[in-house]
């Protein structure tokens, strides 16, 4: 099994044109085997681009093709509206890889989804997307570094470290059920906890790799969740142990987070929750290989 | 982007938030002119983006023109924690009856806006947060709803602000919220927010961080650009559009992706070295970007070796390899380079480099091996 997407996922690419990022990535995803069933572009409804039927709106695309996921890579100033359009059209799973969306737009779009369209899960923004090896790939992950068959589920805040984690495991012959890049933006639609809960519920996922980053308190919250609700082994790596201290000014951030946010605090929290904490991505890969060997 | 106090105050003023009468001065004569215009007594304040300027002698009260001359002369050029004062803000000195604290920022955990208000501002508010958290009245604001005047009134009451300050404070908070949201701030903070003996509420300081992602819809932010970066290396990097942070070590770092760049710093550190910089060249590691990155790192005299750590996803490693070679043709690099190229088309990429490897251009198969080599080439522990 996999989480969030599978072989039945049908993707509509929002903002498609012959020169768009959406088309470029959409074609790569289709070449991987993903069902890319539609594109949208308000000026190109009725056209067909590279065999992908184009509709003026997401609602029309859903109506005509039964699309149940959307992929957004439009420029930052259009992205928040695109997310809300997909949710309003009833798309249950929206992947937004766009980087650089203003935080105010992001916070507003997220809360509109929570309030008005609770049936929609947003992944991202500013994330590499999601891949269930052999089944579905939405986003910019290179399919050939992933390996089918499980048993590891990966969730990561960082793009390149997501690839690194996939690569380390595949090199050692350890496959993945699903690899989710949740992105590093201030208001991610899908959190570590959402993914941990989904992996915990997925019978084919037997171990979880979690890759965090300095800043915020998502890793600390994930640690609490792992301690209370995750029975599967978790291996973790948190990037930024030696990162330069943030240059945030003002007191508000410090008042909210207290000592939270440093890599050290995150690693201690995870370790305290029974997670195997590695000091670099390679070590994390090796630790996971050990964990997987002991599963059999 | 962090704003100077004077920029923050001017930004506040656009949203109708009351501030003291004052102006900017780059010279003693300008300071005198601003003092005359604002009315004595005045406060002469160093404009630096670092805390603790009061203790460092960067904030002084002046009762007449002579005192303005003395203080302005002393403060201009003053070094406050490595920040040299080039500009002053001179404003009419306010009598203070009470000092409060107010701020808006995003609560990433709650995924809502967080307002914080305290009747115990002015002093170390972080201390208050630890010793007496009840003294900070917080409010989570759903961006869909915003902050109504009615909600602000209840909030002000809950924070126990003085009776006579409440109406003005509530109105000011609604304006500050609109500055924070419509003005695309990551942080809008007033400490202290004061009540004067005459019963006026206004902002005596301003800490504003603008959201760089919103620059496209704020052409007026143009005036805030520049004058921001202190590190010369960072200035050069910024000119070339690179995401660079200068550090104190001897191993220059180039990586694609912020996570991988941070991870590269970690691994260099674990191998006993220390990084000279953080540099994320992003997804498109073409020859131009690579050449620009190598140039910036090469200009740092502390660098003894350069570690290029690329994991190809969308970026193909063979393109990166060509980019490195082309960059080396253009830039004369004084330190040895250690390459770790992995991911999409890694085999082809390594083949391209095979004929060009030397003791000045080394390739290693893994991140750890490459870090060890880069640290060794930099002379071990640094």
Local confidence band at A12 (pLDDT 50, 70, 90 cut-offs): very high
Q: A151 and A273: one domain?
A: yes
pLDDT for residue B128 is more than 90: no
Q: A118 and A146: one domain?
A: no
Say yes or no: B189 contacts chain A, CB-CB below 8 A. yes
Local confidence band at A246 (pLDDT 50, 70, 90 cut-offs): low
More confident residue, A140 or A9: A9
Q: What is the dihedral of CA B347, B353, B355, B356, to 10 degrees?
A: -160
Say yes or no: A19 contacts chain B, CB-CB below 8 A. no
pLDDT for residue B331 is more than 60: yes
More confident residue, B281 or A197: A197
Q: A198 and A232: one domain?
A: yes
**Which residue in the list B101, B177, B180, B244 is annotated as catalytic?**
B101
Q: Is residue A156 domain-resident?
A: yes
- Scan residues 32-61 of A and list those with Cβ closer than 8 Å to B: none
What mean pLDDT do residues A109-123 have? Answer: 97
| Residue B40 appears among annotated catalytic residues | no
| Domain enclosing residue A73, as ranges | 10-123
| B21-92 homologous superfamily | ATP-grasp fold, A domain (3.30.1490.20)
Model pTM score: 0.90
ipTM, two decimals: 0.90
Q: Which residue ranges make up each domain of chain B? A: 21-92, 98-224, 232-377
Let me know: does A132 contact A178? Beta carbons within 8 Å: yes
Q: What is the dihedral of CA B234, B236, B241, B242, to 10 degrees?
A: -50
Partners of B312 on chain A (C-beta within 8 Å) are 142, 163
pLDDT for residue B349 is more than 60: yes
| Residue B189 appears among annotated catalytic residues | yes
Let me know: does B156 contact B171? Beta carbons within 8 Å: no
- Scan residues 254-293 of B and list those with Cβ closer than 8 Å to A: 255-260, 262-263, 265-270, 274-275, 278
State whether B106 and A103 contact (CB < 8 Å). Answer: yes
Name the residue of chain B whose CA is nearest to A237's CA: B263
Q: What fold is seen in the domain B232-377? A: Rossmann fold (3.40.50)
List beta partners, residue B189. B103, B207
Cis peptide upstream of residue B41 (ω within 30 degrees of 0) = yes
Name the residue of chain B whose CA is nearest to A98's CA: B213
Q: A255 and A153: one domain?
A: yes
Q: What is the pLDDT of residues A278-293, one digit of tens each?
A: 998 889 999 999 999 9
Q: What is the pLDDT of residues A53-112, one digit of tens each?
A: 999 999 999 999 999 999 999 999 999 999 999 999 999 999 999 989 999 999 999 999
Q: Which of B108, B257, B267 sits opposite A216 (nearest CB)?
A: B108
Q: A154 and A96: one domain?
A: no
Say yes or no: A187 contacts chain B, CB-CB below 8 A. yes
- Min Cα distance A190 → chain B (Å) is 11
Name the residue of chain B whose CA is nearest to A29's CA: B314
Q: For residue B365, what are the contacts with CB-CB under 8 A and spacing of at least 6?
A: B340
Q: A107 and A148: one domain?
A: no
Whole-number mean pLDDT of chain B? 91
Local confidence band at A256 (pLDDT 50, 70, 90 cut-offs): low
pLDDT value at residue A240: 84
pLDDT value at residue A247: 47
**Which residue in the list B99, B120, B171, B189 is annotated as catalytic?**
B189
Partners of B113 on chain A (C-beta within 8 Å) are 107
Q: A223 and A89: one domain?
A: no
Say yes or no: A280 contacts chain B, CB-CB below 8 A. yes
Mark which of A69, A94, A123 sits at the end of a domain: A123
HEC readout, B307-359: EEEEEECCCCHHHHHHHHHHHHHHCCCCCCEEEEEEECCHHHHHHHHHCCCCC
What mean pLDDT do residues B155-184 have? Answer: 97
Compute the Cα dihedral for B148, B158, A111, B282 and give only its sign. positive
The interaxial angle of helices A103-116 and A76-88, nearest 10 deg, is: 0
More confident residue, B286 or B157: B157
> Could you tell me how many residues make up chain A?
296
Instruction: Report the range of poorest mean pLDDT among A49-53, A111-115, A163-167.
Output: A163-167
pLDDT value at residue A258: 56
Domain with residue A251: its CATH number is: 3.40.50.261
pLDDT for residue A248 is more than 50: no
Mark which of A123, A152, A169 sits at the end of a domain: A123
State whether A239 and B266 contact (CB < 8 Å). Answer: yes
Taking the C-alpha atoms of residue B279 and residue B293, their distance in angstroms, rounded to an integer, is 8
pLDDT value at residue B50: 80
**Which residue in the list A43, A115, A247, A251 is annotated as catalytic?**
A251
- Min Cα distance B211 → chain A (Å) is 7
State whether B112 and A107 contact (CB < 8 Å). Answer: yes
pLDDT for residue B229 is more than 60: no
Q: Is residue A130 domain-resident?
A: no
Let me know: does B268 contact B375? Beta carbons within 8 Å: yes
Q: Which of B211, B270, B311 sits opposite A280 (nearest CB)?
A: B270
Say yes or no: A164 contacts chain B, CB-CB below 8 A. yes
Q: A119 and A149: one domain?
A: no
State whether B275 and A242 contact (CB < 8 Å). Answer: yes
Q: A220 and A186: one domain?
A: yes
Domain with residue A54: its CATH number is: 3.40.50.720
- Scan residues 55-84 of B and list those with Cβ closer than 8 Å to A: none
pLDDT for residue B122 is more than 70: yes
Let me know: does A212 contact A239? Beta carbons within 8 Å: yes
Say yes or no: A254 contacts chain B, CB-CB below 8 A. yes
What mean pLDDT do residues B221-240 have? Answer: 74
Taking the C-alpha atoms of residue B115 and residue B175, their distance in angstroms, rounded to an integer, is 13
Can you tell me whether residue A52 is helix, strand or coil? strand
Q: For residue A156, what are the contacts with CB-CB under 8 A and spacing of at least 6?
A: A162, A165, A179, A180, A181, A182, A209, A210, A211, B259
Phi/psi at A26 (nearest 5 deg)? -60, -40
Let me know: does A113 contact A83? Beta carbons within 8 Å: yes
pLDDT for residue B201 is more than 70: yes
Q: What is the pLDDT of residues A194-237, one digit of tens each?
A: 999 999 999 999 999 999 988 888 999 999 999 999 999 999 99
Q: A103 and A188: one domain?
A: no
Number of separate domains in chain A? 2
| B98-224 homologous superfamily | ATP-grasp fold, B domain (3.30.470.20)
Local confidence band at B83 (pLDDT 50, 70, 90 cut-offs): confident
State whether A76 and B213 contact (CB < 8 Å). Answer: yes
pLDDT for residue A261 is more than 80: no
Q: Which of A128, A186, A249 sits opposite B49 (nearest CB)?
A: A249
- Scan residues 91-110 of A and list those with Cβ closer than 8 Å to B: 100-104, 107-108, 110
Say yes or no: B225 contacts chain A, CB-CB below 8 A. no
- Scan residues 329-348 of B and list those with Cβ closer than 8 Å to A: 342-344
């Amino acid at each position: 099994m996999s989480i969030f997407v599978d072989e039945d996922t049908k993707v509509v690419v929002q903002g498609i044109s012959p020169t768009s990022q959406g088309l470029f990535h959409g074609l790569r995803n289709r070449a991987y085997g993903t069902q890319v069933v539609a594109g949208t572009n308000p000026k190109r409804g009725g056209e067909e681009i590279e065999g992908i039927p184009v509709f003026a709106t997401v609602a029309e695309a859903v109506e005509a093709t039964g699309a149940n996921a959307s992929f957004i890579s439009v420029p930052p100033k259009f992205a928040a509206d695109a997310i809300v359009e997909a949710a309003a059209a009833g798309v249950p799973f929206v992947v937004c890889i766009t980087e650089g969306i203003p935080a105010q737009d992001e916070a507003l779009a997220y809360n509109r989804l929570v309030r008005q369209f609770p049936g929609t899960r947003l992944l991202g923004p500013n994330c590499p997307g999601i891949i269930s090896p052999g089944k579905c790939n939405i986003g910019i992950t290179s399919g050939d570094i992933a390996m089918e068959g499980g048993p590891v589920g990966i969730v990561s805040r960082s793009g390149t470290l997501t690839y690194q984690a996939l690569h380390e495991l595949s090199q050692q012959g350890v496959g993945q059920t699903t690899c989710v890049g949740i992105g590093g933006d201030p208001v991610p639609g899908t959190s570590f906890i959402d993914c941990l809960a989904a992996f915990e519920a997925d019978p084919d996922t037997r171990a979880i790799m979690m890759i965090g980053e300095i800043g915020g308190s998502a890793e600390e919250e994930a640690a609490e969740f792992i301690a209370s609700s995750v029975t599967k082994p978790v291996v973790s790596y948190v990037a930024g142990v030696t990162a330069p201290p943030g240059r945030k000014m003002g007191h508000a951030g410090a008042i909210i987070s207290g000592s939270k946010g440093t890599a050290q605090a995150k690693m201690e929290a995870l370790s305290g929750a029974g997670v195997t904490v590695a000091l670099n991505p390679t070590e994390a890969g090796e630790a996971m290989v050990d964990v997987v060997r002991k599963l059999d | 982007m962090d704003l100077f106090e004077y920029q923050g105050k001017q930004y506040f003023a656009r949203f109708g938030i009351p501030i003291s009468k004052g102006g900017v001065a780059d010279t003693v004569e300008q300071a005198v002119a601003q003092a005359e215009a604002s009315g004595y007594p005045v406060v002469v304040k160093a404009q630096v983006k670092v805390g603790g300027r009061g203790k460092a002698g960067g904030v002084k009260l002046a009762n007449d023109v002579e005192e303005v001359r003395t203080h302005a002369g002393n403060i201009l050029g003053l070094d406050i924690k490595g920040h040299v004062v080039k500009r002053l803000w001179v404003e009419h000195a306010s009598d203070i009856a009470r000092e409060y604290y107010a701020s808006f920022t995003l609560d990433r955990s709650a995924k809502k806006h967080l307002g914080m208000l305290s009747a115990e501002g002015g002093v170390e508010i972080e201390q208050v947060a630890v010793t007496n958290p009840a003294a900070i009245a917080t409010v989570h604001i759903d961006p869909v709803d915003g902050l109504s005047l009615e909600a602000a009134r209840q909030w002000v009451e809950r924070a126990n602000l003085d009776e006579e300050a409440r109406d003005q404070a509530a109105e000011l908070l609604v304006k500050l919220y609109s500055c924070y949201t419509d003005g695309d701030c990551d942080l809008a903070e007033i400490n202290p927010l004061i009540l004067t003996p005459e019963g006026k509420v206004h902002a005596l300081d301003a800490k504003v961080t603008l959201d760089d992602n919103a620059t496209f819809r704020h052409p007026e932010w143009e005036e805030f650009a520049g004058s921001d970066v202190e590190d010369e290396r960072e200035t050069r990097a910024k000119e070339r559009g690179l995401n660079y942070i200068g550090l104190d070590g001897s191993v220059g770092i180039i990586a694609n992706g912020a996570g991988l760049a941070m991870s590269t710093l970690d691994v260099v550190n674990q191998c006993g070295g220390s990084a000279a910089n953080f540099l994320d060249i992003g997804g498109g590691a073409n020859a131009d970007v690579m050449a620009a990155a190598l140039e910036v790192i090469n200009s740092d005299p502390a660098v003894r070796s350069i570690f290029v750590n690329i994991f190809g996803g969308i970026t193909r490693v063979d393109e990166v390899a060509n980019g490195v070679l082309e960059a080396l043709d253009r830039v004369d690099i004084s330190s040895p380079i250690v390459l770790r190229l992995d991911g999409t088309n890694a085999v082809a990429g390594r083949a391209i480099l095979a004929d060009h490897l030397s003791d000045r251009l080394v390739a290693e198969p893994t991140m750890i091996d490459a870090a060890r080599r880069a640290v060794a080439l930099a002379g071990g522990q640094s």
